[in-house]
Structure 1
């Protein structure tokens, strides 16, 4: 059948479909949308919290250095995209881990990339919502998201990760949670947080048969404290890194240095057995 003999409605439908597809591609280019965002626009994939933008290898190396990722670590990569951060953690640092992303095309690419890199036995990838992904058992969480998404994730990170776990983010911070370290490459920055133990509240310290109360006021890893020794109230300057707490306290004219590991409602001393602490009421 000659084109001129085709029904007009069929020609119009074909032309209209081509126009929509072409317009969508040009719109994506005009808005600088990446492939994942364009697939969302076209209704191919679910709406994403963050459009995928790949992290340069130099920044990946810096992030893994900052978090001191090693062979004993399990890494969870949130918004993994094509899996490049997690694959580098496995290939270059010997880590294991899980990468999650809502975009099935990205997950397929990540799995293929893991096979090509020879680390498919050390990492896995799943199409999943990062806000519903369990973080329990992770030693390191990596992410390149958005400031608003980081803030939404913050309560889950603090609740599910063990003290001492590391979180490393490319480009964006987590509001008033001060990073423990930062590093830069050119104009790009990476941030590290070490999940702090919960020491907020009143504790009873026992040392050499004596007992005295200590009150800690905590905001993330920043801690202030006071100790009541006899009739004297002494201001403390505690340092908290992960599950390790340090402070000094003058007792009977002698400055004592305390360093312990926080285990829930107990603080167990490091390198000595002459003191012990428990949270009041426990």
Structure 2
């Protein structure tokens, strides 16, 4: 398998409970499909881990946090009460935990900004979240990984406690009370061919290969091949250099528009072809 593979079209909870799921395999034709069943146990996330996860997420007033497996609601409540998030939602399968979380939100005075819903986290609509938190076993995280990449907007921060998201390497990690907090930023889809036009009107054909947030690429300018130097992708921001000239752009679907920064090059654009 190649290290970098095209991912076009594939991208776009510190949950308070560690769900221990029973997974059954159903046979559909010749394929085995995992089907989740009711969670049977939970372990609350320690408060120091909660604090570190929310600190790493760099919450802003316009952020909406979703906490999968929200338990007593401590993550969602702390996000709006102590860490400046505009709103939050917790999802849990356990009716008793939902009732407890709602009571805790009332006591904390944030019931108008936090809501809790009973439901299967594997069926949750995550598209409105700008921050996602979870504390689930590896099997469930691997199940969720493609959902996160497909349905969530580039730039969304995803944070987990103790368990990773399969082969998707985290952008940041930290150890707290013997456990590890991981954070990822959902990357834009940039794999494919791009037509770049410089500020001087020179055209270049760019080929980008992508594996999650890791990218490599090459360019062809007037028939001459050139490698992209130091290509980097973070959320919907992409950076690369061609012949010592740096390009900093924002990915907007099939277009890359320049970002006006001191070290960037203005007046250029790129379109996926």
SS at match of 2:61: coil
Can you give the 5+ residue segments of structure 2 that lack an aligned partner in the other structure?
Answer: 1-16, 21-35
Aligned counterpart, 2:44: 54
Aligned counterpart, 1:196: 187
Deviation at 1:49?
A: 3.9
- Partners in 1 of 2:170 and 2:53 — Cα distance? 13
- Partners in 1 of 2:79 and 2:60 — Cα distance? 8
Deviation at 1:234?
A: 1.4
Cα distance change of structure 1 residues 50 and 277 upon mapping to structure 2, 3 Å threshold? farther
Normalising by structure 2, report the TM-score: 0.82
Residue number among 79, 83, 108 corresponding to 2:73 in the alignment: 83
SS at match of 1:131: helix
Deviations 1:227-252 (A, max 9, x none): 112232112231000000000111xx
Deviation at 1:159?
A: 1.1
Q: What RMSD, in angstroms, separates the aligned Cα atoms of the two structures?
A: 1.7
CA contact (8 A) 2:145 2:166 kept: no
Normalising by structure 1, report the TM-score: 0.80
SS at match of 2:168: coil
Deviation at 1:50?
A: 6.5
Aligned counterpart, 2:28: none
- Partners in 1 of 2:133 and 2:225 — Cα distance? 42
Deviations 1:142-189 (A, max 9, x none): 001111101101111111111001000011001110000001113110
Number of residue pairs matched? 234
CA contact (8 A) 1:218 1:224 kept: yes
SS at match of 2:105: helix
How do 1:1-282 and structure 2 match up within 5 A?
47-49=37-39, 51-95=41-85, 96-207=87-198, 208-236=200-228, 237-250=230-243, 255-271=244-260, 273-280=266-273
Aligned counterpart, 1:43: none
Flag the structure with larger Rg.
1
